[in-house]
Amino acid sequence: MLIDITRQLNDFTLQVNAQLSTQGICAIFGRSGSGKTSLINTIAGIDTPDSGRISSIEDCFFDSEKGVNTAVHLRQIGYVFQQARLFPHYSVDANLRYGYAQKDDPDGRFFQQILVLLDITSLLKRYPNELSGGEQQRVAIGRALLRRPKLLLMDEPLASLDLPRKQELLPYLAKLNKVLKLPILYVTHSLDEVLYLADEILLIDKGQKLLHDDVETVWNHPLMQPWLNQDRQSAILHASVKEHHEKYPLTALALSHDHLLWVRKIDQPLQSAIRVRIYAKDVSITLSRLPAEQSSIRNVFLTTIEEIQTNSQNVRLKLALADNILWADITPWALDDLKLSVNQQVYAQIKGVSINHSDWANI
């Protein structure tokens, strides 16, 4: 999907030129008011850019030079809004069928599949005001999917929900893309959602594209650092499930080059690809490797210091672990005592218990 648009907004100009992949979930990430929603509104056709081009492989939706501007209802782009926007005068069933063409699904299998996927079969007869926030949003997602879009836009679909509802909905979103093979543009300002769902990140600030690449690359890029909470700096690593411990509830994740990272049990089959987040505060440094029977830390890796960032509060080390990057927060005192310098080899210790279920995601 090619997007190359300019649109004057109140405070700034939205100017984005990006080639989005036609599969997977692309997170459009940025602060509130950075132009994320405006961007997907132009893709949906709800808003019209001042100039530029929006086209998918098959269709051109907008081209200011050729004077093309396809109407919203002809674009075949699904849209899940921040609020569910269910039609109050229709039942759940009628809401779901609003954009659904029975003739494309004569045996109703697709309809059933969506009901099961989103677990909304029992809600069909109810009306929107009788549903919880999470149920409403699930129905809204189902309604958008039953329209059989070629692309799904989601504008912070979880933002209006409380934490338990978010936890409830996230797995459904992750399933969507995998089961239906539907490309999704997902607007969010939540790092957790990015980590859990996204394959690539389009980072936007004040209407401008800052970065666009896969999650790991963007996450570790210097331009991304202001968005990662300063006290909760983290690195993202690619891993696969290598083995489950026979005796203890632990799982070994293989990082690149056969480094094994032992973490709390992850209920995934062997070989599953996983993305894991490691906070800088959970990584400590030693100069020599302690024998395993003298330390509680199971994960010790030999790394190279790439960068030392100091501020008044603490010191942040950027460590290279083969192809991966780790961050470690230490005190200035420790820095002086250990006499650390760039390019020095040190052992990074990672507490396995610090990685819990919100720090990893299937990919």
Partner 1 sequence: MLTEFEIQAISLSLKVAFTAISFSLPIAILTAWLLARCQFHAKPLLDAVLHLPLVLPPVVIGYLLLVSFSPQGAIGLWLNNTFNIDISFSWQGAALASAIVSFPLMVRAIRLSFEAVDYKLEQAASTLGASKFKVFYTITLPLISPGILSGVILAFARSLGEFGATITFVSNIPEVTRTIPLAMYSFIQTPGAEDQALRLCIIAVIIALSALIASYILELKMRRKLSRN
In the complex, the residues that contact partner 1 under the rule CB under 8 A are: 44, 46, 71-74, 76-79, 81, 83, 85-89, 98-99, 127-130, 143-144, 147
Q: What are phi and psi of 113, to 5 degrees?
A: -60, -45
- What is the length of the chain? 363
Give the nearest distance from C-beta 147 to partner 1 in angstroms.
5
Give the nearest distance from C-beta 320 to partner 1 in angstroms.
46
Please check whether residue 172 is in contact with residue 135, taking contact to mean a CB–CB distance below 8 angstroms.
no
Residue 128 or 352 with smaller CB distance to partner 1? 128
Q: How far apart are CA 330 and CA 186, in angstroms?
A: 35
Give the nearest distance from C-beta 148 to partner 1 in angstroms.
9
Cβ count within 10 A of residue 65:
8
Residue 62 or 79 with smaller CB distance to partner 1? 79
Give the nearest distance from C-beta 90 to partner 1 in angstroms.
9
Residue 158 or 346 with smaller CB distance to partner 1? 158
Give the nearest distance from C-beta 186 to partner 1 in angstroms.
16
Residue 7 or 143 with smaller CB distance to partner 1? 143
Contacts of residue 194, defined as CB under 8 A and 6 or more positions apart, other chains included, come to: 27, 29, 188, 201, 215
Residue 49 or 78 with smaller CB distance to partner 1? 78
Give the nearest distance from C-beta 8 to partner 1 in angstroms.
20
Largest CA distance in the chain: 74
Residue 73 or 109 with smaller CB distance to partner 1? 73
Give the nearest distance from C-beta 158 to partner 1 in angstroms.
18
Q: What tokens were used for 29? A: 């990430």
Give the nearest distance from C-beta 172 to partner 1 in angstroms.
19
Residue 14 or 144 with smaller CB distance to partner 1? 144
Residue 92 or 158 with smaller CB distance to partner 1? 92
Q: What tokens were used for 17? A: 């030129």
